[in-house]
Amino acid sequence: MVLSQLTGLSPAEKKVSRRTLLVGVLAAGIATGMAFAPALAGEYPERPIEIIVPFPPGGGSDAMARTVSDLIGKELGQPVVIDNRGGANGAIGTQLAAAAEPDGYTLYVGNLGTMAITPNLDPNIRYDPVKDFVPITQFNASSTVLVVNPKLGIKTFEEFIQYAKDNPGKLNYASSSPATILPMEMLKQMAGIDLVHIPYKGSGPAMTDLLAGHVDIMFGGAVATVPHVKSGALIGLAVAGSQRTSALPDLPTVAEGGYPDFAADSWNGLFAPAGTPPEIIAKLNAATVKALNDPQVLEKINAEGATIVGNTPEEFAEYVAAEHAKWKAVIEGLPDDISLE
């Protein structure tokens, strides 16, 4: 019955008929609800997306986020903005991201430090890197390079290990951060060698003293060390990562030098708060992987000696959990005189 058919009926009949009509309309609405729901609910994303970077502008994680954010936004049809929340070695921004609404509008860039090192150093950290986040994809992996001053006459990684074993405590190594301490300490544990640790407050002073011969050896970032290796000012022995670096393709990995379980990649990637719907994670993964494989992004990252990854959420989740466990074991085995503060 339609409304025009109610004309001429008695008040009682009109009342019954109106009730019948209302029930029919409601039933039709329920029956077709699935068809109308997406249009009513909208489709993610409907507004700008924020990416929390837990460090000040200018660092590696910040640069990587800014490199891909515009491309991700273009793919999703919404602006992607960077929110730098530095402090406490990344813990402040990480805690903020962990507590964010899991709706896909607040994302987070985590790295080796915030997801595998800091949580194993500070028992008061108020986030769990495995439980409080859903990995989206790993941005990249980069490696530090093991370099030695030429005055020692050491030309290869194997020569270095043998010299260190024959002369315990004679060689010293420079460090400027946990990212340069931990690979060397892991190598010391695996190879059974004794090196004296010389800490520095920054990579610049450490490199200056290495070039001057005041310290013997160090793991240094590829961007800083590669020019000195190519000029002959330093001798490159090996790379710490799981694969060779494009900046020095002839230099073997530590794993190739006889320690197959050794891998010390620096990395960063994109995460969402735990509880973010899987369909949103899948959409973010697809958009980010596409951005990472943009030719200009690939060229930029390869020039810096890093490697684009762009894995699945499941693969990245396994990797983060493994990294957390690996560095926990290394940190627990540190000598008492080694401080990562």
Q: What is the pLDDT of residues 246-269, one digit of tens each?
A: 889 999 999 999 999 999 999 999
Which CA distances in Å does 170 have to 109, 308, 310?
40, 38, 42
What is the CATH code for 49-142+265-332?
3.40.190.150
Question: CB under 8 Å to 3, separation ≥6 — which residues?
Answer: 21
Could you please state the CATH topology (level 3) that the domain comprising 143-239 is classified under.
D-Maltodextrin-Binding Protein; domain 2 (3.40.190)
With 0-12 / 13-18 / 19 or more C-beta atoms within 10 angstroms meaning exposed / middle / buried, residue 79 is: middle
- pLDDT at position 283, please? 98
Lowest-confidence region among 18-22, 176-180, 210-214: 18-22
- Is the whole-model pTM more than 0.85? no
CB proximity list for 191: less than 8 A, separation 6 or greater: 161, 164, 165, 259
Where are the domains positioned within the chain? 49-142+265-332, 143-239
Residue 67: its H or E element? helix 60-76
The per-residue pLDDT for 341 is 65
Q: pLDDT-based confidence at 203, cuts 50/70/90?
A: confident
